[in-house]
Amino acid sequence: MADICTPRAARAKMQRSLHRYALALAASVLVCAVTAALPGAGVRAIFGRSGLSFAVVGDNQGRNEVWDKAIDAINAARPQFLLHCGDMVASGTSQQYDDFAARARKLRMPLHTVLGNHDVKDNGRANYARLIRKDAYYSFVQKGYRFIGLDSSSGSLDAAQIDWLRRELAMPGPKFVFMHIPLYDPRPGRDHCFLDPNQAAELHRMFSASQVLAVFSGHVHVFAQQVMDGVLYVTSGGGGALLYARPGEGGFHHFVMVRADGDRVQAEAVPVEAEIEEPRLCVVGLKGQLEMTLGEIAAMPRFEVRTAFENRFGNLGGQGVYAGVRVAALVDLVGGMRPRQVLVVTSSDGYAQEFAYENVYPSAKWLAIQGEMLLAYEKDGATHPAWGEGPRVVFAPADGVYHNTDCAATSVPGQGWNVYESAGARWARYISRIEVR
């Protein structure tokens, strides 16, 4: 068997072919699976003239290389309107919202949006209200169907929104609900969903008792669907953000076309092709090796820190807010690391840094000096390709700066400061391989 962590140049053409095949296969079977799962529904591709068609998308997060292609594809599909399930922007800035609004003007149908957790960062809620729409939650009626947009950006609904929702659900007629963070994570054993399972269960009971035909959400960067107690739950988080799974598991960029006729609903994932070759990371350890996409790394428990490094001249560099995962968590996936072993971190250009067990699994003393050792995949809300330095090693001391003195105090003989006197040298960029030796 070939080493899956060898350079990808020889495999690129084959991977693209397999990717396209997986997208086509997934899209071809989803429509039948969803329609057949609904009570009393049969597989029927064409609805009557009285039916309604609309599109659903989520989680572009400002990655315009994909989002622009998605807009073109949605326009070509000609839905009557588009529901956006949130995470329109990366970190809530006014400039990001300006950019989203400008690109959204290319849509040839009305756009209805709800807030995602990325949208409300910093002053994002105010920017959204000023540039996109005033109301964080609202409803509208189209062809006899009530559409209810919720603000689940915090992972819950407050009492005022719950009271409003009860009144909306009490209205007669069929309904659709759309929001960002879902009641349940569609991936078994994962927790990208409502913080309080009791509130999630209560909302599901409310939906199933109130003629809610389907609930659409984003947040989880895959396509998934399931029917619970007659309610269709659709996850559409493929508008451009890093994908949390491989194509055959729903991890492909897409939007969803929905057709409704009476109480019958048909949902079909429409793949969006974008020529982005995502960075991959090879992790090698005691129990073998694992190749991971950037999206699979992003699906792990997230750490967000504001940090910077000091270079050899005493100047600060790399200032920003980084999102990443603990390097220890990646090493644990391949069997962990023992004291006196060395972790070799290698960049795609061949640059390498060695780290001790104590850097990866710091004691309380070392943790107070260097902070967590993270592999960052996002800086200031931007990911690949907009952020061209990731994935990157970062250290996050409590004071927000990885000083030269911090580096010197946490470098074992033959590594780090003892080889090159600069804290910044430890912040290796565009990492492609992590290996325990």
For position 50, what pLDDT does the model report? 56
* Structure token digits, residue 49: 């003239």
For position 386, what pLDDT does the model report? 87
Nearest 10 degrees: CA dihedral of 180, 184, 190, 195? 70
> Pairing relation of β-strands 145-149 and 138-142?
antiparallel
User: Which of these CATH numbers, 1.10.1060.10, 3.40.50.920, 3.10.310.10, 3.60.21.10, describes 11-271?
Assistant: 3.60.21.10
For position 291, what pLDDT does the model report? 95
3-state secondary structure the chain: CCCCCCCCHHHHHHHHHHHHHHHHHHHHHHHHHHHHHCCCCCCCCCCCCCCEEEEEECCCCCCHHHHHHHHHHHHHHCCCCEEECCCCCCCCCHHHHHHHHHHHCCCCCCEEECCCCCCCCCCHHHHHHHHCCCCCCEEEEECCEEEEECCCCCCCCCHHHHHHHHHHHCCCCCEEEECCCCCCCCCCCCCCCCCCHHHHHHHHHHHHCCCEEEEEECCCCCEEEEEECCEEEEEECCCCCCCCCCHHHCCCCEEEEEEEECCEEEEEEEECCCCCCCCEEEEEECCEEEEEEHHHHHCCCCEEEEEEEECCCCCEEEEEEEEEEEHHHHHHCCCCCCCCCEEEEEECCCCEEEEEHHHHCCCHHHHHHHCEEEEEEEECCECCCCCCCCCEEEEECCCCCECHHHHHHCCCCCCHHHCCCCHHHHCCCCEEEEEEC
For position 74, what pLDDT does the model report? 98
For position 227, what pLDDT does the model report? 97
For position 37, what pLDDT does the model report? 37
For position 11, what pLDDT does the model report? 35
CB 67 within 8 A of CB 102: no
Q: Which fold has domain 280-436?
A: Sulfite Oxidase; Chain A, domain 2 (3.90.420)
Instruction: Give 10-residue mean pLDDT values along the chain (437 residues).
Output: 38 38 40 36 37 96 94 97 97 95 97 97 95 97 97 97 98 97 95 96 98 98 97 97 92 97 95 86 96 94 95 93 97 96 95 97 97 96 89 96 97 96 95 97
Rounded to two decimals, the pTM is 0.81
CATH 3.90.420.10 residue ranges of the chain are: 280-436
For position 1, what pLDDT does the model report? 33
CATH 3.60.21.10 residue ranges of the chain are: 11-271
